[in-house]
Amino acid sequence: MTSSSTPASPTPGAPGNHRPLRRLTARGRDEAHRASTPLELFFDLCFVVAIAQAGVQLVHSVAEAHTGEGILNYAMLFFAIWWAWMNFTWFASAYDNDDVLYRVVTLVQIAGVLVLAAGVSKAFEDHDFLAVWLGYLIMRLAMTTQWLRVARSCGEGPERTTALRYAAGVFLCQIGWLGLLVLPEDARPWVFLVMAILEMCVPAYAEKDQPTSWHPRHIAERYGLFTIIVLGETIAAATVAVKTAIDENDALGELLPIAAGGLLIIFSAWWIYFVVPIHGHLRSNRQSFLWGYGHYVIFASAAAIGAGLEVAVEQAVGEAHISTLSASAAVTLPTALYLLTVWALHSRHFKVGTAQQLVLPTTALLVIACTFFGDWAVPAAGIVSALAVAVGTTLTARMTARESRGGSPSAARLSG
């Protein structure tokens, strides 16, 4: 997943060649006008089905006061979903030739994530991971096939070695995940921890001699689009929860503050993520791993905000068996985690001065403090999040004005 020091040249396997079957060779890292394809967007939307299922089960677990178990299961299943998505995303950035076989194998991966999504409820409720494992197996065998195509297309050399390392690593890790099926239930968290670490070591090992030619702007766009989709799913889930509660309980007065606060949180989350041009930062080889892996927390916390809003709605109408404090924490804690992670991966690289650097960390602390505001915790957290955007924008405007008066070019520093 690290960048190549030598840009790959455009090849006959690029999408501009309309032969139905083409060699799966590296695309140019500095290729102009590189954008997400319709197939990639379709891929993302299908993955959100699995994320939605994981969110639904997290809501049920938290609302029934099984918070610890629910968070653990959510973390495990979300890792499986996110890791399969991320493997495809970085592979496609380097090797998408859009031929017939590439499309078919990608559609097989989509089928795999739908099988995984179908097994999420049994994994949560009965600790039965068979369907999840089978769905993951379908996705990973398809990914292995893609890497073997690369190895066959590029001939002898370090690129072939990289491709074979990926193919072997993905396949062997899939065998390791059998531990979730055959080992005792108490051992499964340890299986997950060990296998997650091994999975994340595969790209570092595979690319140590020959990095793949992923495209910085394309990767930044892909991650940004997936963030939008996850935030959209969060809004959809919260909206359905509010509508259902109003229809069944006639509790509009109790739910309006939660709905308003939730919208402010999600709108602020969108603003803060997209306010900086992160693709320039991704040109650093060392940063690419940290940035890509760190998005597990961004995506998981963004989706968890939606689950938390659903819990808050259920608690407000008396359908959740938890306290107001616990329901508030279900919203404020993932919101604070999202803010801190976006700051760590994005915003801190674009800030000038202590004041700008402290906006998001301070906001995260204030959002956590809102947990203790009782029924007004969610609207208070929403107001704090919106104020963070306003403060960041104001600080940026003042800095830009000072630079303009001083005759120096405005730095590429934005709010958030």
Amino acid letter for position 342: V
What confidence tier does 379 reach under pLDDT thresholds 50, 70, 90? very high
pLDDT at 411: 42
4, pLDDT greater than 60 = no
Q: What is the pTM (predicted TM-score) of this model?
A: 0.87
Query: What is the pLDDT, as a whole number, of residue 191?
Result: 92
Residue 211, classed as helix, strand or coil, is coil
Residues 100, 97: Cα–Cα separation, whole Å: 9
Give the long-range contacts of residues 130-136, CB within 8 A, separation 24 or more. 130/181, 132/77, 132/80, 132/180, 133/177, 133/178, 133/180, 133/181, 136/80, 136/84, 136/112, 136/174, 136/177
Token readout for 28 is 């140019």
Higher pLDDT, residue 407 or 84: 84
Q: In the predicted model, what is the mean pLDDT of residues 361-374?
A: 94
With pLDDT > 90 as the criterion, what percentage of the chain qualifies?
48
Residues 6+ apart with CB under 8 A from 184: none
| Mean pLDDT of the 159-185 span | 93
- Mean per-residue pLDDT for 309-315? 91
Whether the predicted pLDDT of 82 surpasses 80: yes
Q: What are the boundaries of each domain within the chain?
A: 38-214, 217-406
* Average pLDDT score over residue span 187-196: 92
Q: What is the pLDDT of residues 57-71, one digit of tens each?
A: 999 889 888 888 889
Direct distance between the N- and C-terminal alpha carbons of the chain, in angstroms, rounded to an integer: 27
Average pLDDT for 322-348: 91
Q: Is pLDDT at 9 greater than 50 in this prediction?
A: no
CA 101 – CA 92 distance, rounded (Å)? 13
Between CA 264 and CA 303 the distance in angstroms is 15
Q: Which of 89-93, 210-214, 267-271, 300-304 has the lowest mean pLDDT?
A: 210-214
Token digits for 8? 């790959």
pLDDT value, residue 349: 66
| Token digits of residue 31 | 């290729």
- Residue 31, pLDDT > 50, answer yes
Between 10 and 207, name the one with better pLDDT.
207
Q: How far is 302 from 78, CA to CA, in rounded Å? A: 12
- Taking the C-alpha atoms of residue 311 and residue 336, their distance in angstroms, rounded to an integer, is 17
pLDDT band (50, 70, 90) for residue 321: confident
- List, as one string, the DSSP characters of 247-297: HHH--HHHHHHHHHHHHHHHHHHHHHHHTS-GGGGGGSHHHHHHHHHHHHH
